Structure 1
């Protein structure tokens, strides 16, 4: 039986409470109080729970992926210890389209806690509730056109909505709330896409997916627990100020990030790279591939640049799934391009 929502929240909140003070929002003397969103992923088994928590939903997912990579490297390196959560797949369990050398064990359940509704569709009702006048806007919604993002002809059409504009329009891909002149980035909610857009994908489409890919719906449950640094924990008269700290926690390591780099490091300093940035993830992936010895994966990670790696044959099935979702489930998806040309040789030496 899976743990209830409050038990999952308690696991996340109690672990955050144990973090050192330098990884938490700071007290202020100007009548305001910092707040942050808290997100955590909990793996549950009969033997207990293991947790990862962070200050943002996408950071939580990226750090969870890093935890999996750390575990893969651990169990594939002498003395080859067992993991409660992961295992290697034997040769007969792999095929041409399912090369994955590892798998999460069948009895492991994955849960996620979020202290705030992710920006995007998931928080539009809260935005409406906060309006003095929640009457739907009649003006045309400002969008980010797909054509301006360098996408192909097949992806022309409806763009992503700007931030919280036209809050009554649901079922749309949105950019993060920001200044009108800020570069567009998609909301955190687009990473979850629980219903509506993805559940409408035709079976004939998803049945064509190879590589073990599928969409599995999940249940969202409320919790009675409240995060002490949430916007709802303000005392009367206090003003909410967003904290610029991001804390990353796993059982093996912790980080504090400011502006996407390690606290105390400058933006372009290689020593400021987080373990969950793309170069850090590629570095450990190369270590793992070197131990499992699957030719297609070795070829993919042996490419010159990150972009070439993503275009490798080993990731062909993944590219098809992403294309199908963008075209049929997430119309208006704005692709990020132009920042994936960095050298994997630099990554291997990091």
Structure 2
């Protein structure tokens, strides 16, 4: 039985309340009260017991121009939803290390060992032998493939690698709590409702490619929005697929701009006066996670993704737009933009599939949400401000605060300021775990021993995951721009 959304929300709020005061929004010396979004990941065991695995606060991201300086040490996106998922990945890796450290008799309430019958390997991966010279030769060949950009190229229909040693337990469900509507498409109705003038904006030709400009003669009075029927009946399969394709005729849109343009991929930040980024909105990232699971590339080399999908996302009642969530996250049955990926889902390998979560309402409010702070101090301009601090916590006891993507008190971009959820720290931990696994998992270890982070991501072992992302971004999330510039560093 699915957990009560109020119970899920209360658990995350309780864990945040237990954090030290220094991790919470402040009242500044000038009397300005800070607010911040909160998100958390909760596991539900087969007995119904709930466990908070990670939580995070935050609402900013790294300007694209600064990515080359990050070198794996700086978070790119610390919106609460994204950071909570990264902290969840840290929890999963720490849980795998604990399971390995405990010996053959050890067990975990969240992870399990996979047996050989579950583990499939591609022809490239399975050709490895126990001969050291053969392993070294294959490693050199793979490195050459990486340098030539051909890693991941496999025969059409050939089995993709699927030999992770761990899996998320099938009887443990995952839920997410968010104190605010995810930025991007799921919150557009809320954005429009807050406008003094909700008239559609004209889409400038600069945001359209020549092909798109011909296909969509947008101008005053013309708004080619994705607009599911306001009735409760779902669109037909054909209509849903057509609508999902039509909404993605633009490139990614900036923040809340062109708010009447529905179904589109959007970029952070929401503020037009902030430095530009290529970080996608939380709505878009959560929509894609319905296909890739909550596991990132590094964790996916060690843990099968098939069980690590969200079952529900819990939002305060005031932040839940049923229309927006249906459009942003649903498939054909509910007339959402994800209908475009469903024809591909059945062919995905590696444990991947489209798994739609359910958006649910809670009556609990976060003490430091903008609404709660306004209720205490009033909505007068200048009395409220967004907190610059981002906080991350995991169920294994890790806790930290970051400013600008770097641990608070550390120099920006310094390796000593790398968050426990940073690319560098997650890669190092993944490599440590692969080393503990021994010769039986030589493929994962070789991939993680690559010279650069980019080479790890291009590993042949992640081909199934890349295929999923390619299908999602070519269909439902068309216009997705890669946020590149921080993958050339090594350990």
**TM-score, length of structure 2 as denominator length:** 0.65
How many aligned positions are there? Answer: 334
Residues 1:131 and 2:131 are matched in the alignment: no
Match of 2:303 in 1: none
1:278–1:139 Cα change, 3 Å: closer
Counterpart of 1:9 in structure 2 is 9
1:85 is the counterpart of 2:225: no
Partner residue, 2:417: 272
Using a 3 Å threshold, how does the CA distance of structure 1 residues 237 and 215 change in structure 2: closer, same or farther?
A: closer
Distance 1:77 1:334 in 2: 40
1:243 alignment partner, one of 387, 391, 411 = 387
Query: Which residue does the alignment assign to 1:36?
Result: 36
Structure possessing the higher radius of gyration over alpha carbons: 2
Which has the higher mean CA deviation after the structures are superposed, 33-42 or 46-55? 46-55
| Alpha-carbon shift at residue 71 of structure 1 (Å) | 0.4
How do 1:258-337 residues align onto structure 2 when only pairs under 5 Å count?
A: 258-292=403-437, 293-337=440-484
1:190 paired with 2:287, answer no
Structure 1's unaligned 5+ residue stretches are 146-155
How does the TM-score come out when normalised to structure 1? 0.90
**What SS does structure 2 have at the residue aligned with 1:53?**
strand
Deviation at 1:219, TM superposition (A): 0.5
SS at match of 1:199: helix
Residue of structure 2 equivalent to 1:21: 21
Moved over 4 A (4+): none
- CA separation of 1:337 and 1:111: change in aligned 2, threshold 3 A: same
Distance 1:114 1:269, change over 3 A: same
Task: Identify the residue that residue 199 of structure 1 maps to in structure 2.
Answer: 339
Q: Partner of 2:338: helix, strand, or coil?
A: coil
Deviations 1:21-62 (A, max 9, x none): 011111124342100000011001126222121110000111
Shift of 1:181: 6.8
* Contact 2:81–2:178 (8 Å) recurs in 1: yes
CA RMSD in angstroms, aligned pairs only: 2.0
Q: Give the Cα separation in 2 of the matches to 1:287 and 1:144.
A: 46
Q: Which has the higher contact order (CA 8 A, sep 6+)?
A: 2
1: CA distance, partners of 2:44 / 2:390 = 25
Which structure features the higher share of helix residues?
A: 2
The offset of 1:157, in angstroms, is 7.3
Q: Distance in 2 between matches of 1:305 and 1:139?
A: 40
SS of equivalent to 2:30:
coil
Partner of 1:108: 172
Stretches of structure 2 that go unaligned for 5 or more consecutive residues are: 58-79, 122-160, 210-247, 288-328, 331-335
Q: In the aligned structure 1, how far is the partner of 2:448 from the partner of 2:44?
A: 32
Corresponding residue SS for 2:267: coil
